[in-house]
Structure 1
Amino acid sequence: MKLICYLSNGYPTLNASKMMAENYVNAGCDVIEMDFPSHNPFLENEFIAGRMKTALENCDDYDAYMREMIEIKNELPQTKFILMVYENTILEIGSDKFIHFCINNGFNDIILVGIKDQKIKMNLIQNNLKVSCYVQYQLLDEEVNQARNSNGFVYLQAKPTQGIVNPQFPQLKNCIDFLRDQGIDQPIYCGVGIRTPEDVLMVKESGADGVFVGSVILKLHEDLPMLEKVIGDYKAACD
């Protein structure tokens, strides 16, 4: 199973996040989820939104972010990348410019956040970029249908929110088996609430293809030895 670590791009500087990407990979990370900081990250918690704000205060030039992303990818050729981007950020960059950047540099997997309508999403898909689909733990019919028709990976909630579950599928393994029974054959990556190696092992044993870890890793950026240990522990649970 793949270990996917979230990188707050540009925090506190572009050079610092570039070095952190290397630290992630050296510690055992398989896939880096790398964001474009948004000027309006309305779906983020205070911690992530604050990091985006700091990043943009230090560099407000999306061209610079794209140059840095290319450098990171070139320096880590064996690493897979997922781009997390708000729809409002794509509109700031320009849809065509963003699409050309992704296609020309092999950034094929997109987590598109804050969708107001389907225009941007469909434009990405029509240009053969893979847009993920988020499915909550309770397996809402609308989200399952979207996942069935999606061309990207399924981002499945790993733990229920406040005990909200579908009684037919109470465990994560039940949820994954159900999605597979629906004919969904794209990768299923699980995230939200992953904090310990035991959580990672639970996701692996449930049959997921990958696991997202986010804030737990971000909060260790000032303690590199501990960050490397925690990523190593997560990676061991994946193998």
Structure 2
Amino acid sequence: MNALTDYIRTQRKSSKKLLMTHVVFGYPSIEKSLEIMHLLLDGGVELLEVQFPFSDPVADGPLITSACHQALSQKPTLQNCIDELQTLSRQYPDSRILLMSYLNPLLQFGFERLAEQGNGIISGIIIPDLPVEHDSLLAPLADSSITPIWLLTPDTPDTRLDQVVRKADGMIYCVSRKGVTGQQSNGMSGLDGYLARVSAATDLPLGVGFGIQSADDIRSLPEVADIAIIGSGLLNAYNNGGLDKLRNLLTELKNA
């Protein structure tokens, strides 16, 4: 079994749903983003998704896009990001770190280099603008700990869904609705049929993201969902109340 899958399955034995939280590396500064990561990991987050910023994050809404642009003003490098994640992975061995970014900065860094530098540190990678047909670009990651994580949406047709799950490992990222991150939603209702269709096609753990803002959203997720993924909700809490408000929201989410 894939190491990430095994970790998620093991954690699920003692937790109703796992929490995957999203942080933009370098926002509002590199130092502050690391403080946020420490807060989340200290709070018991099982999966930490760290986004390396890109100037045109097409899957992200205004909130995360603005955070990416401000982060880029800090002149972060992917090497610096991986070095910081290495420190975190040693300090928090009971959690797992996922890297999220777009294809352009990853190609510039090089997947061979990423496989070498990130092995044993990064458990998974999410690249929203990489179609599954071009997964051969990720071949250098095959012998590393870094598992490509593919996205599905409610509109993904069955033929496409089958194509994705054949390539998938680790977990499946189930986008809850059309659109970009951070948009207001009507809660997590209406996902049962969609997630049932995905779970019928794969036995991999399912993470649900896009639109989760509150503890109530987590409670309303179908039972088949293994992981609640939250990004913009946490970022909005931080922007409106700093670490204290972020900590309070995290407590509510964990209690859910």
TM-score by length of 2: 0.79
Equivalence for 1:112:
127
Helix, strand or coil at the partner of 1:156: strand
Between the aligned partners of 1:45 and 1:27, the Cα distance in structure 2 is 26
> Which range moves more in the overlay, 143-152 or 80-89?
143-152
C-alpha displacement of 1:160: 5.9
Equivalence for 1:121:
138
Between the aligned partners of 1:126 and 1:64, the Cα distance in structure 2 is 23
Structure 1 residue 148 and structure 2 residue 165: aligned?
yes
Between the aligned partners of 2:137 and 2:149, the Cα distance in structure 1 is 13
- Which deviations, in whole Å up to 9, do the C-alpha atoms of 1:42-84 show, x marking residues without a partner? 3322321221222221124322222111122222221111110
Equivalence for 1:230:
249
1:194 equivalent among 196, 203, 212: 212
Matches within 5 A, 1:86-235: 86-103=102-119, 105-115=120-130, 117-125=134-142, 127=144, 129-149=146-166, 150-159=168-177, 171-182=190-201, 184-203=202-221, 205-221=222-238, 222-235=241-254
Aligned residues: 226
Q: Is the 8 A contact 2:112 2:141 kept in 1?
A: no
Q: Is the 8 A contact 1:133 1:155 kept in 2?
A: yes
C-alpha displacement of 1:41: 2.3
Q: Which runs of 4+ in 1 moved over 6 A?
A: none
C-alpha displacement of 1:216: 0.9
Over the aligned positions, Cα root-mean-square deviation in angstroms equals 2.2
Equivalence for 2:6:
none
Between the aligned partners of 1:62 and 1:223, the Cα distance in structure 2 is 25
Helix, strand or coil at the partner of 1:34: strand
Q: Is the 8 A contact 1:81 1:107 kept in 2?
A: yes
Equivalence for 1:164:
none
Q: Is the 8 A contact 1:9 1:34 kept in 2?
A: yes
> Which range moves more in the overlay, 110-119 or 63-72?
110-119
Between the aligned partners of 2:66 and 2:104, the Cα distance in structure 1 is 17
Equivalence for 2:62:
46
Compared with structure 1, are the counterparts of its residues 158 and 43 closer, same or farther at alpha carbon in structure 2 (3 Å cutoff)? Answer: closer
TM-score by length of 1: 0.85
Equivalence for 2:29:
13
- Which deviations, in whole Å up to 9, do the C-alpha atoms of 1:111-148 show, x marking residues without a partner? 12222643323443465632112111234224411332
Letter in 2 for 1:197: A
Unaligned runs of 5+ in 2: 1-16, 180-188
Residue identity over aligned pairs, in percent, reads 19
Q: Is the 8 A contact 2:28 2:67 kept in 1?
A: yes
Letter in 2 for 1:232: T
Letter in 2 for 1:185: D
Unaligned runs of 5+ in 1: 162-169
